[in-house]
Structure 1
Amino acid sequence: MTVLRSVVAGFGAALPRERVTNEALVARGVDTSDEWIRQRTGIGSRHIAQPDETTVTLATAAARAAMDRAGIGPEAIDMVVLGTTTPDDTFPASATQVQAALGIHGGFAFDVQAVCSGFVYALAMADNCLRLGQARTALVIGAETFTRLLDWEDRTTCVLFGDGAGAIVLRAEPGTGTAADRGVLTTHLHSDGRHRDALYVDGGPSTTGTVGHVHMKGQEVFRHAVNRLAEVVDEALKATGVTAADIDWLVPHQANRRIIDAMGRKMGLQPEKVVVTVDRHANTSAASIPLALAEAAADGRIQPGQLVLIEAMGGGFTWGSSLIRW
């Protein structure tokens, strides 16, 4: 049986110019320490966007790098989907601004808001459109200026996050409908709005008219994350008939090193098969998975034909997974 698969044709990443270490946060007056942050999160540094660096500028840079890797110009792109919680404007969609900045004059563009699960959600939307023939080549981007949402007096949240963007180019190509195909093999999405108060921002245009700040119940988020992510990973494996032993790379959302390590242990994976960037990027929300994918593909760890499993959980709660043969 011949089917259309969404094959990764290129990847790219962009980080703000300023890298801020834990020590630098302490020097800026945050009531914390490098030891406190590292023990609880595994984070050593993060990048923080300057006023001239926005979600759109970072997303555009990452997308342009992905297009260059794929060897294509703007005329080839007929879909742009951007996962972000921090758009440049309430409207229009930041994806349309990226579309314009890249000189893409055809197709369609839209944002997806699922917080830290945003890239997995965006990937699923693009994969569905490509498999249905609604588009041929898609840019899938995760981009955030998440530090704009932080209360720098709240050390339980402000030390956790950073800014950045990552992108991939997906191209519709024929496959056999088996797990041997290259491309996106399966995607699985979930949400449960009953847990809104565990991780949220206390602002918005329809309520306070302000951006607001992040609030989080860390232990509750941790407990749900480990359980929900294990379930959605199992879904991906069962849907494709592969086992954890078949996975070449786990590329998880980079929220907390303890969550990442717990997922690796649950899957029985050796630590060297888990891509980790949280130590240098912190939690970049929807940008974390594509940033990690781009790093591991650029340095040669992820090779064509290998099985890559991605998973994420974010505020809402939202969570999801995808299995991709690179």
Structure 2
Amino acid sequence: MRYAKIISSGMYVPQKIMSNSEFEKLTMFTIDPYFSDVIGINHRHVSEDWETPTYMAAEAAKKALQRVGMSPEEIDLIIVGTDTPESVSPPDAPRVQYLIGAHKAEPLAFNVNASCANGALMLDIAARYIAMGDYKNVLVIGTYAMTKFLSWKYSWEALFSDGAGALLLTASDEPGFIGSVARADGSWWQNWGIYMGAGTMNLQGFERGLHKLDLRAAYPATVNEEGWPMLINKLLEKYGILKDEIGMIFFTQVRKKTIEKVMEILELPKEKAHMIMHKYGYTGSACVYMAYDDAFDEGKLKDLKGKFVIFLTSGVGFQQVAAAFRM
């Protein structure tokens, strides 16, 4: 049986930084100490005009390839996940393919959009392609440029940051990808998003600000506080994984206190939930790959041989996906 193993990671983060105090001066809102203490964010990375979603994605992918000395020509499939695409059409992935120098090999390249749930979903898709024997080496890349869609006049916009993260998967005879669980509830569809689309691409749509991120109704904390433990337990039961076999959980990096609460509910040490909000802010589709890359750089993954790593991502719409890998 063929499994998908994670063999490398990479990230790209814009150099421009906006501190919480700078955000407060710009918007005239006081966000601290709440944002630093509860959300876990004290600054954000803001992409310049030239730091487009495909540029950031390509840079993260290049680093993942360089880490293991793999040529772009060895890549069979590229999947890009984002809800801040460079364009509505064409998709980002073929341009990323070209930017990393994989165009001669002509791998399949496509986008997915499950908003910020993209991270775990792309791993599931990539692993299934590998298991079927169609592809050997697959790049999954989350890229996020949400600051380009902000009005910079609301306090909640302090959450968002830009960046990209990439994971490189390859076929293996040993696990590897174990499986995933997921759920969705479209009754939350109108709460939060960028609502410019085929039905609103007109002057009225722009006048209403539909081309900018719109928080219409906040999600209650229970969406993740209840949903994440439920999915973790469902994943463990489905695949016969014991709690003490979990080496690390990479949650959507959206709120520090929620992650700590979920680890308490699961009766797991919070050290097993690597967090990066204090370093990079909230980077949506990119955040769990960036967290994995950061944990690797900190040496937290080297002693996890035989343990399980779980990616658990949530996105507006809404959907939640949990995927498990044996290291």
SS at match of 1:6: strand
Match of 1:58 among 53, 56, 62: 56
Question: What amino acid does structure 2 have at the position aligned with 1:203?
Answer: M
- Return the offset for 1:225: 1.7
Residues in 2 aligned to 1:264 and 1:97: alpha-carbon distance in whole angstroms: 39
- Return the offset for 1:110: 0.5
For the Cα contact (< 8 Å) 1:59–1:167, is it kept in 2?
yes
- Between the aligned residues of both structures, percent identity stands at 25
The runs of at least 4 consecutive aligned structure 1 residues that moved more than 3 Å come to none
* Alignment partner, residue 187 of structure 2: 194
Question: What amino acid does structure 2 have at the position aligned with 1:36?
Answer: Y
For the Cα contact (< 8 Å) 1:81–1:112, is it kept in 2?
yes
For the Cα contact (< 8 Å) 2:119–2:311, is it kept in 1?
no
Residue 203 (str. 1) matches residue 196 (str. 2): yes
Structure 1, 281-290 or 234-243: larger mean CA deviation: 234-243
Residues 140-167 of structure 1 deviation map (CA, whole Å, 9 limit, x = unaligned): 1111101122221111x21111111100
- Return the offset for 1:216: 4.9
Q: TM-score, normalised by structure 1?
A: 0.92
Residue 4 (str. 1) matches residue 2 (str. 2): yes
* Alignment partner, residue 245 of structure 1: 244
Residues 57-88 of structure 1 deviation map (CA, whole Å, 9 limit, x = unaligned): 11001000011112210111010001100111
Residues in 1 aligned to 2:86 and 2:24: alpha-carbon distance in whole angstroms: 29
Question: What amino acid does structure 1 have at the position aligned with 2:2?
Answer: L
Flag the 1:231–1:118 CA change in 2: closer, same or farther, 3 A: same
Aligned ranges for residues 76-87 of structure 1 at < 5 Å? 76-87=74-85
Root-mean-square deviation (CA, aligned residues, Å) is 1.6
* Alignment partner, residue 185 of structure 1: 178
Q: TM-score, normalised by structure 2?
A: 0.92
Residues in 2 aligned to 1:247 and 1:171: alpha-carbon distance in whole angstroms: 22
Pairs aligned (count): 316
* Alignment partner, residue 288 of structure 2: 289
Q: Any unmatched runs of 5+ in structure 1?
A: 176-180
SS at match of 1:125: helix
Question: What amino acid does structure 2 have at the position aligned with 1:283?
Answer: Y
Flag the 1:97–1:282 CA change in 2: closer, same or farther, 3 A: same
Residues in 2 aligned to 1:231 and 1:208: alpha-carbon distance in whole angstroms: 39
- Return the offset for 1:235: 2.0
SS at match of 1:309: strand
* Alignment partner, residue 165 of structure 1: 164
For the Cα contact (< 8 Å) 1:115–1:315, is it kept in 2?
yes
For the Cα contact (< 8 Å) 2:27–2:154, is it kept in 1?
no
Aligned ranges for residues 77-226 of structure 1 at < 5 Å? 77-105=75-103, 106-155=106-155, 157-175=156-174, 181=175, 183-209=176-202, 211-218=211-218, 220-226=219-225
- Return the offset for 1:239: 2.3
- Return the offset for 1:33: 3.4
For the Cα contact (< 8 Å) 2:192–2:213, is it kept in 1?
no
SS at match of 2:118: helix
SS at match of 2:190: helix
* Alignment partner, residue 309 of structure 1: 310
Residues 181-225 of structure 1 deviation map (CA, whole Å, 9 limit, x = unaligned): 3x211122322211112222232244245523231533x342212
Residues in 1 aligned to 2:217 and 2:245: alpha-carbon distance in whole angstroms: 35
For the Cα contact (< 8 Å) 1:151–1:214, is it kept in 2?
no
Residue 37 (str. 1) matches residue 35 (str. 2): yes
Residues in 2 aligned to 1:30 and 1:56: alpha-carbon distance in whole angstroms: 32
- Return the offset for 1:27: 2.5
Residues in 1 aligned to 2:122 and 2:31: alpha-carbon distance in whole angstroms: 36
* Alignment partner, residue 46 of structure 1: 44
- Return the offset for 1:268: 1.1
